[in-house]
A and B are shown apart, each in its own frame.
Chain A
């Protein structure tokens, strides 16, 4: 135990101690409470110098410290810091959490650098155990950060960071951990940019062997995890699978009249419970009759409504290639233990992405709910294990303002999913554009560098566990560093995310100049061929 300082004072859960060490913000120290006979963990908030060299001496003209010494300034105090640390508490093994001591340390109490024995209490799970995800190390420490996978899957996770801070990389690390033999998770990734295709590297036995992690990924039956990528060609939604509300939300451009909705509802009720193709549904609309048996399409009073349904339906469903009379979005194909399914949505429009998410989440939630309640009928699909869905660009699917086809079901899953083992990971680089209610349901947070104050404030206001102290740490995080807080860990901690095993699919372009220049070289004209021929015809310049 390294004694690094002495308590000066304490007030309102903040301990103030004096030290000669330069201690990083976010790191941990502890002091011994002799009455409680406990080690009290504290997290560094900020530090300040006790004495400073006068401003007038801070010049390149002379050596500042030497000059200060010559006029009688005590340099010993100049090398000391007053550090403010927030009391986290002592670890209670029975409750498995940190308890605030509620009493202050007395002045003069020694302060020690937190070692691995106390730092490891930050984790709810032990490294390598079932339901654990080791995603990195505590900053300035060798102690690993191990998340509780059962907490993430049941109470949801948010991953928030500015562009380029490493959030996709971090999710990649988390998914690798979830695929390890200790977990064997079942997960789907909604991937609007095609960044997660490289997760398929996890099936490369040779690569795993070379990296020395083959054993970590080999299941008891000798198999490895699987990653399957579904492109837009593979993502098909059966029209028959849509609810009425989904049907309306797809074809309604905001101008659908009540009359149109009424006729569409009538049509839907006629075919409900039956197998029908998308063409048959339209035929059903066109075949609607009034009480006299006259087709509505021929009636001057009603034909415009029928026509209105027809062209909207044709535009938004009939002519869209991913609405089919069969589905390639079978749940039991997507969600399987020891498998990650990546839905690469990069060639699909944003509105259609929302629709896919809506259909997927609704079906998943329904299947899990019925399975847990033992209500799956013979002709229905159940899901006999918990599932995890990563939603990249989460603000597209549940925006703070405006509507999205996926918003309602996503919020429902976030609020009720924990009961049925449907876990969600919301990812966004613009948290301020993410619905606050949705964000507040993510009980574990991985927050990386966030520079925009609007985003920072939104996070602070949406998340109970996110204090101003944590918000202040965000701009100082480097790429690959994350603040981890919430239910999957015993106390908030700054971490260095570990290196990925699979390739990273979300990197930017490293050297655009070379690419531009290469393109320019291809277009340069061949100068030798464009020499001007000597004019033998005229003597203009003779």
Chain B
């Protein structure tokens, strides 16, 4: 599913995606996996929503004036904060280069999630220690990513056990 476009690059692995207008795009849960075009893979780690300043009108009544929100125009922005975690078809979870601005961003399907998280035919989540060691995101966000992984691997009991152990470990981190 198309969810938006790259709006800003903060760092090689920290991107901002402007959400598409569609309501369902804005309802994408934290922890979901995305791909940028056919290469870069990331995980949604936050939402930002705001109203552009331009849409605050100034009402003048009598001798006073005040700013009012004109909501009937329906203008608002929604953004996804994305943590880059790797590239499709890569041997390791490294990002060679950040995506370009305005590149299209799509939600990753379960099958692609499973494919991305396999090495030598076995489940792999090797970038986990990088996230933990460098404190890239809050532990509760990591748990949400693991929730999405668990959904994708719902048919594999062994993988689910491993993910469950990881969640417990993550919750213990302070």
Are A67's CB and B130's CB within 8 A? no
Shortest CB-to-CB span from B20 to chain A, Å, is 33
The digit string for B120-151, where 1 denotes a CB below 8 A from any CB of A, is: 00111111111000000000000000000000
Q: Are B161 and A70 in contact (CB under 8 A)?
A: no
A:27-50 near B, CB below 8 Å: none
Residue pair B125, A71 in contact (C-beta under 8 Å): yes
**Complex CA distance for A74 and B130, rounded to whole angstroms:** 11
Beta-carbon contact of B130 and A62 below 8 Å: no
A61 to B159, CA, bound (A): 11
Query: Beta-carbon contacts of A177-196 to B below 8 Å, as 1s and 0s?
Result: 00000000000000000000
B126 x A56 contact (CB < 8 A): no
Asked if A57 is an interface residue, CB under 8 A from chain B, the answer is yes
The 8 Å CB contact of B130, one of A55, A56, A72, is: A72
With known contacts A56-B165, A56-B166, A57-B165, A71–B158 Cβ distance under 8 A: no
Residues of A within 8 A of B169 (CB): 54-57
- Minimum CB–CB distance from A140 to chain B (whole Å) comes to 35
User: Counting CB contacts under 8 A, is A513 at the interface?
Assistant: no
Give Cα distance in the complex from A72 to B161, angstroms.
17
A54 CB → nearest B CB, Å: 5
Q: List 30 A-B contacts (CB under 8 A).
A: A54-B169, A55-B169, A55-B172, A56-B165, A56-B166, A56-B168, A56-B169, A56-B172, A59-B165, A61-B161, A62-B161, A62-B162, A67-B165, A70-B119, A70-B123, A70-B124, A70-B125, A70-B126, A70-B162, A71-B124, A71-B129, A71-B162, A71-B166, A72-B126, A72-B127, A72-B128, A72-B129, A72-B130, A73-B129, A74-B129
Task: Output the least CB separation between A145 and chain B (Å).
Answer: 47
Complex CA–CA separation, A57 to B125 (angstroms): 14
The complex places the Cα of A61 from the Cα of B20 at a distance, in Å, of 43
Please indicate the chain A residues that have their CB under 8 angstroms from the CB of B124 in the complex: 70-71
A59 and chain B: residue at smallest CB distance = B165
Partner-B contacts on A (CB < 8 A): 54-57, 59, 61-62, 67, 70-74
A72, B125: Cβ atoms closer than 8 Å: yes
State how many angstroms separate the Cβ of A71 from the closest Cβ of chain B.
Answer: 5
A54 vs B168: C-alpha distance when bound (angstroms) = 10
Whether the Cβ atoms of A71 and B128 lie closer than 8 Å is: yes
Taking the closest CB of chain A, its distance from the CB of B88, in whole angstroms, is: 19
Nearest CB on A from B116, distance (A): 14
Q: Which residue of B lies closest to A68 (CB)?
A: B129
Docked pose: A278 CA to B132 CA in angstroms: 90
Q: How far is the CB of A59 from chain B (nearest CB, A)?
A: 7
Q: In the complex the two chains form, is A70's CB within 8 Å of B127's CB?
A: no
Which 5 residue pairs across A and B have the least CB separation, nearest first?
A72-B129, A72-B126, A56-B165, A56-B169, A71-B128
Alpha-carbon gap, A73 to B128, bound state (A): 8
Q: How far is the CB of A250 from the nearest CB of chain B, in Å?
A: 71
Task: Find the residue from B127, B128, B165, B172 having the highest chain A CB count within 10 A.
Answer: B165
In the assembled complex, the Cα of A482 lies from the Cα of B119 at a distance in Å of 52
Taking CB atoms, residues of chain A closer than 8 Å to B166 are 56, 71
Once the chains are docked, how many angstroms separate the CA of A70 from the CA of B125?
A: 6
Interface size, chain B (Cβ < 8 Å): 18
B-side interface mostly: helix
Within the assembled complex, what's the spacing in Å between the Cα atoms of A191 and B116?
78
Shortest beta-carbon distance, B150 to chain A, in Å?
Answer: 14
* Bound CA span A54–B126, Å: 15
Do A70 and B122 have beta carbons less than 8 Å apart? yes
B25 to chain A, nearest CB (A): 31
Contact mask for chain B residues 86-129; partner A; CB cutoff 8 A; 1 contact, 0 none: 00000000000000000000000000000000010011111111
Known: A54-B169, A56-B168. A67 touches B162 (CB 8 A): yes
Q: A57 contacts which chain B residues (CB < 8 A)?
A: 165, 169
CB neighbours (8 Å) of B165 from chain A are: 54, 56-57, 59, 67
- The complex places the Cα of A282 from the Cα of B122 at a distance, in Å, of 99
Chain A residue nearest to B130 in the complex (CB): A72
A-B contacts besides A62-B162, A70-B119, A70-B124, 14 pairs, CB < 8 Å: A54-B165, A56-B168, A56-B169, A61-B161, A62-B158, A70-B122, A70-B126, A71-B126, A72-B125, A72-B126, A72-B128, A72-B129, A73-B129, A74-B129
Residue of B with least CB distance to A57: B165
**Which A residues are CB-close (under 8 A) to B126?**
70-72
Residues of B within 8 A of A55 (CB): 169, 172
Residues of A within 8 A of B130 (CB): 72
On chain B, the residues within 8 Å of A54 by CB distance are 165, 169
Q: How far is the CA of A70 from the CA of B169 in the complex (A)?
A: 14
Chain A residues with Cβ below 8 Å from B119 are 70
- Cα distance A129–B15 in the bound complex, in angstroms: 79
Chain B hits for A56, CB < 8 A: 165-166, 168-169, 172
Bound-state Cα–Cα, A62 to B158, Å: 8
Cα–Cα, bound, A72→B162 (Å): 13
- Shortest A58–chain B CB gap in Å is 9
Chain A residue at minimum C-beta to C-beta distance from B157: A61
Q: Which residues of B contact A70 (CB under 8 A)?
A: 119, 122-126, 162
Complex alpha-carbon distance, A56 and B165, angstroms? 5
Chain B 26-64 against A: per-residue CB contact (8 Å), 1 yes, 0 no? 000000000000000000000000000000000000000
Smallest distance from the beta carbon of A66 to chain B beta carbons, Å?
A: 8
- Residues of the B chain whose Cβ atoms lie less than 8 Å from the Cβ of A67: 162, 165
How far is A379 from B20 in the complex, measured between Cα atoms in Å?
121
Residues of A within 8 A of B172 (CB): 55-56
**A73, B126: Cα distance in complex, Å:** 8
In the complex, A529→B2 CA distance in Å?
101
Cβ contacts under 8 Å, B129 to chain A? 71-74
A67 to B163, CA, bound (A): 10
Chain B residues closer than 8 Å to A59, beta-carbon distance: 165
State the CA gap A494–B165 with chains docked (Å). 42
Chain A residue nearest in CB terms to B162: A67
Bound Cα distance A56, B172 (Å): 10
CB distance from A98 to the nearest CB of B (A): 43
B164 to chain A, nearest CB (A): 8
When chains A and B are docked, how far (Å) is the Cα of A54 from the Cα of B167?
A: 12
